[in-house]
Structure formats: C-alpha cells, structure tokens
C-alpha cells in the first residue's frame, strides 16, 4: 500500500464564501489526491496541515535536546523534541511527499520552513561526518518521491522566466528534498493569481491538469 504524506502550507482555506479567496495550492493537492484515489483507492493519506497549525519554531533548548542522546534527555528535553519525532515518523512512513504551498515573499511560508527545521535533524534524517570532507552531511532516508504543487501571484519563476532570479520557492525545496530522501521531484505551478485575468484562469487549469497527470503517472 502506498502512503502519501500531504503537507498543506497555505493559510487560506478552500471554503470561503468568495471563491477568489480560496487557496489555489490546496485545491491542486485536492485534485491530486482525488485523481490518485481513482487509480488506487486504498492509498493511505497522512495529512499535516502546517498552514492551519504551524509547527513550533526551533529554539536554543530544542537544539541542545537534539544533540543530547535520547537516553540522557531530561523529560523537558524529550517533550521539546516530541513534535519533531512525530513529524519525522510521518515522513519515514511515507512513499510520496505531497507539498502544496503558496509562494510568500518569493520563498516558502514560514510555517513550511518551520516544518523543514523540525524534520531535518541529525541522526534522524541525516548523518554528519567530517571524514566525508567538504560534504559531511548524508541523508538517511531514500526512495521517496516529492510532488510540489504551488501557487504564486506573479509569474515567470521557471528556468528562463522573467522572474527566475526570484524563484526561491521551488529551488529551496529542491535543495532540501535530498535530506528527506526524495530522490525524484514532480511539480505543477499555478501563477498570475494577482493579475486575476485570463492568464490566471489558463494557468490554474493547466496546473490542475498537470497535478492530475502526475497523480495518474505515479499511482
């Protein structure tokens, strides 16, 4: 059975009375899951909604806790890392990591970054060994697939696009995916939300079709 870990990062819901206020990235993820289920109804979905319930930011004490051996942690330190343990366990159980996210300030929302900071953790998702020279970090997990579904207000963030230099959302997540064991990455991006014109309508339709296509290919 395939397990999908779905991370939603938009602060917008999909049930607003005014349809234009609804999250586009969440709708893309809804379509992805719906399409997947037509092929594979038994798929297990783990939902982690960081947009609605942001993970805690890491702290001075959190870092001290993760660098303390598990059996030596105080009860307070164990409590501090328990969310991280849970989030890493969800990732470990998954075959597909489905991230739906808006672009905020040309990168990822703070809540999604908080999730990454909680899970990219020494001896849990990566090992660190200076014997490896200039690249001491190595991922522990492997064999996963990342599907990234995004929405942006502007456009042209793709390779060769007019805002490629500002496209830090996909580029950042693509760098981080190594440490999640995601060896493959598929993407669909809706753009032009702020222009609210026919290009936006076409872009959302195209991203929706792409999300469904990726689901059919992977299921």
Ligand X SMILES: Cc1cc2nc3c(=O)[nH]c(=O)nc-3n(C[C@H](O)[C@H](O)[C@H](O)COP(=O)(O)O)c2cc1C
Annotated binding-site residue? 23: yes
Q: Lay out the site mask for ligand X across 91-110 (x = CB under 6 A, - = otherwise).
A: -----------xxxxx----
Instruction: Supply the minimum distance, in Å, between the C-beta of residue 203 and ligand X.
Output: 10
Residue 20 or 131 with smaller CB distance to ligand X? 20
Strand partners, 156: none
170 binds ligand X (CB under 6 A): no
Rounded to whole angstroms, how far apart are CA atoms 218 and 142? 17
Contact 204, 164 (CB under 8 A): no
Q: Which of residues 3-32 bind ligand X (CB under 6 A)?
A: 10, 12, 23-26
- CA atoms of 54 and 63, how far apart (whole Å): 19
Contact indicator for 150, 103 with CB cutoff of 8 Å? yes
> For residue 171, how many other CB atoms are within 10 A of its CB?
13
For residues 140 and 3, give the distance between their C-alpha atoms in angstroms, rounded to a whole number. 19
How many residues does the structure list for the chain? 219
Per-residue binding string, ligand X, 117-156, x by CB under 6 A, is: ----------------------------------xxxx--
Among 77, 118, 170, 193, contact with ligand X (rule: CB under 6 A): 193
> Which residues are annotated as part of the binding site?
10, 23-25
> Which residues are annotated as part of the binding site for FMN?
10, 23-25
Task: Kindly list the residues in this chain that would bind ligand X in the complex (CB under 6 A).
Answer: 10, 12, 23-26, 102-106, 151-154, 193
């Amino acid at each position: 059975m395939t397990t999908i870990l779905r991370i939603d990062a938009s602060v917008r819901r999909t049930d607003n009375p005014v349809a234009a206020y609804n999250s586009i990235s969440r709708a893309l993820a809804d379509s992805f899951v719906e399409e997947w289920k037509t092929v594979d109804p038994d798929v297990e979905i783990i939902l982690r909604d960081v947009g609605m319930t942001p993970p805690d930011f890491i702290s001075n004490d959190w870092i001290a806790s993760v660098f303390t051996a598990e059996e030596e942690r105080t009860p307070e330190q164990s409590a501090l890392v328990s969310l991280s343990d849970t989030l890493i366990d969800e990732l470990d159980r998954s075959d597909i990591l489905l991230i739906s996210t808006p672009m905020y300030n040309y990168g990822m929302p703070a809540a999604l970054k908080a999730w990454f900071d909680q899970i990219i953790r020494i001896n849990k998702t990566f090992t660190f060994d200076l014997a490896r020279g200039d690249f001491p970090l190595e991922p522990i997990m492997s064999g996963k697939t990342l599907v990234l579904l995004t929405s942006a207000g502007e456009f042209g963030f793709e390779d060769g696009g007019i805002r490629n230099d500002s496209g830090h959302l996909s580029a950042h997540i693509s760098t981080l995916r190594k440490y999640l064991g995601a060896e493959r990455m598929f993407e669909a991006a809706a753009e032009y939300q702020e222009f609210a014109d026919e290009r936006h309508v076409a872009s959302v339709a195209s991203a929706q079709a792409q999300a469904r296509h990726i689901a059919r290919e992977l299921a």
